[in-house]
């Protein structure tokens, strides 16, 4: 088991992702990815 560097939850190593040099769980990886992507303009 490994620990997410962002939220501290324990996950298996295959569910750990590297984002900007940090090893994070899938939930944190998705949150970080969505915050980095540009917003879609309206209309």
pLDDT digits (tens, 9 = 90+) for 12-32: 999 999 988 999 999 999 998
Task: Count how many domains the chain has.
Answer: 1
pLDDT value at residue 15: 93
Whether 43 is in a domain gets the answer: no
Other Cβ atoms within 10 Å of 31 Cβ, number:
15
Asked if the structure places residue 20 within a domain, the reply is yes
The answer to whether residue 29 is domain-embedded is yes
Residue 15 lies in a domain: yes
- The answer to whether residue 30 is domain-embedded is yes
Position 42 in a domain: no
Residues in the chain: 43
Query: What 3-state DSSP class applies to 27?
Result: helix
* Residue 40 resides in a domain: no
17 is in which domain, residue-wise? 2-35
Q: Structure pTM? A: 0.72
Check residue 38 and give its pLDDT.
62
């Amino acid at each position: 088991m490994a620990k997410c560097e962002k939220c501290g939850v324990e996950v298996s190593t295959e569910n750990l992702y590297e984002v900007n040099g940090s090893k994070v769980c899938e939930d944190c990886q998705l949150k970080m990815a969505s915050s980095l992507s540009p917003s879609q303009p309206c209309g």
